[in-house]
Structure formats: C-alpha cells, structure tokens
C-alpha cells in the first residue's frame, strides 16, 4: 500500500513538472515552491500512521501551502525588475538571469566594473548600478547578496580580500543611491570558483567578476532571522568585519 502511495506521488510530480513548462515565469516560480512542498507533504503523510491515502492528500495540501510561502517566489515585481535590468544592460556584457531557486542574478564582468587589481567601480558601471538601485527601491521586500571573484593570478593574500572589497564597494555604491544597508550581504570567493579556464586571458577576464543576487524575503516564523540565498557572509562594512567571509 505504501509503495502504491509513493508511486502516485511520483506520478503527480511528473505531471506537475509538465504543467510548469506551460506557465509564465511568475506562475512557474510560485508553483515550484508549492509543488516541492506538496510532494514532501504527501510522502510524510503517507509514511506516518494509518489512513494512508487521506494522510497523503492532507500532507500534500499542507505542504503545498508551506512550499508556496517559504520558497523564493518569482513575483511580478521580480519579473519587471529582470526586464528593466535586461534593457539597462543590453550590449554591456552583463548577464541578467533567473536562477533555479527563483533569484534574480546579475553577472558583471570585471572589464566593465573594475580595473585589474583594483576595487574602485569604473565609470561605465555606475549608470547601470544607478538603475539597479532604483529597481531595488521600487521592490523594498527583497534581500541582496553580492559576491566578488578574481582570477588565479596573484596569491590568496591578494585575491581573497580583493574579491571581498569589490563586493563591498558595489554595496557601498548602491547604499549611496538610497538602498538600505540592512538589505545586503557580501562575500568574496577569491579565485576558488572560476567559470572559465585561467590558462588564457579571455578566461581570466571572465573569472574576474561580481555576481549580484536578489531574492524575495522568505516567510519567517516569529523570532527567526532574515534568510538569504546561501551566499551571505557579512552585512558589515567590508573585508574582515564579520570574521566569516569565505573565499
């Protein structure tokens, strides 16, 4: 009986994923959280106690509600923000995407953002950050995580603080444009997360970058702290302020 119930849960998951393919980004973002919660709730409901079918259905319903509320939800505001930033960054080399966990991601290459071995924001990036700051002001319920990266030239003693400082300078610029500092987490990964080979200049150029993630605030139980998308390490004033930055 238990096997049959779990098979039904698996079949429902397949049908759910097929249905998601027909949805727009906002619908798909909300449905994904609800679907994951429903699947988990059904399995737990079927596995505990008697009345398996009824428990599975009840678990799916409760899990669906929890999943829709707790997960990062891709709202209409997030979709508008993505469209605005796509337009603002067209032709700049900046990539604007929706991540699998429903965060807005800006991938900013160093050739438009920072000079080699420097953390000062280049003039070419400032108009883009100005527009980005205005979208953050228009959607004040989001949390922002900024992650700095370097290539593999130089030592960790140089690359690690440099990556944090680039994230910190990006945050400070956005704060100067009216975004609350409480919304930010920063991190530096040094050269440890390359997206291209460091054996060529073009690859190293891709690896020198800043990534910005924007997520809707997750639902929180009373007394629970703010949740970020897995990258956050510091909300203080830069390198070394929290003692928890990772490289």
The residues of the chain scoring below 70 in pLDDT are 1-70, 217-247
Say what the pLDDT of residue 246 is. 45
Share of the chain above pLDDT 70, in %: 59
Say what the pLDDT of residue 62 is. 47
Say what the pLDDT of residue 69 is. 46
Say what the pLDDT of residue 70 is. 56
Cβ atoms 163, 114 nearer than 8 A: no
Cβ atoms 95, 107 nearer than 8 A: yes
Q: Per-residue pLDDT tens for 56-108? A: 455 544 444 444 445 789 999 999 999 999 999 999 999 999 999 999 999 99
């Amino acid at each position: 009986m238990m096997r049959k119930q779990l098979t039904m849960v698996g079949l429902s998951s397949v049908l759910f994923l097929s249905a998601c393919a027909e949805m727009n980004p906002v619908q798909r973002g909300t449905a994904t959280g609800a679907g994951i919660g429903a699947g988990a709730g059904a399995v737990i409901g079927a596995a505990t106690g008697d009345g398996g079918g009824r428990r599975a259905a009840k678990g799916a319903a409760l899990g669906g509600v929890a999943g829709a509320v707790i997960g990062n939800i891709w709202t209409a505001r997030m979709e508008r923000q993505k469209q605005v930033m796509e337009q603002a960054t067209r032709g700049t080399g900046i990539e604007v995407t929706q991540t699998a966990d429903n965060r807005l991601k800006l991938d900013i290459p160093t050739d438009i953002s920072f000079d080699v071995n420097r953390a000062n924001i280049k003039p070419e990036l400032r108009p883009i950050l100005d527009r980005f700051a205005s979208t953050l002001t228009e959607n004040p319920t989001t949390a922002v995580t900024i992650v700095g990266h370097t290539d593999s030239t130089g030592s960790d003693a140089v690359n690690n603080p440099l990556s944090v400082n680039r994230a910190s300078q990006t945050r400070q610029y956005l704060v100067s444009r009216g975004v609350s500092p409480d919304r930010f987490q920063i991190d530096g990964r040094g050269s440890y997360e390359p997206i291209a080979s460091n054996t060529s200049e073009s690859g190293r150029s891709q690896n020198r970058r800043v990534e910005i993630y924007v997520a809707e605030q997750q639902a929180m139980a009373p007394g629970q702290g703010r949740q970020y998308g897995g990258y956050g390490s510091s909300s203080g004033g830069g390198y070394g302020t929290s003692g928890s930055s990772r490289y």
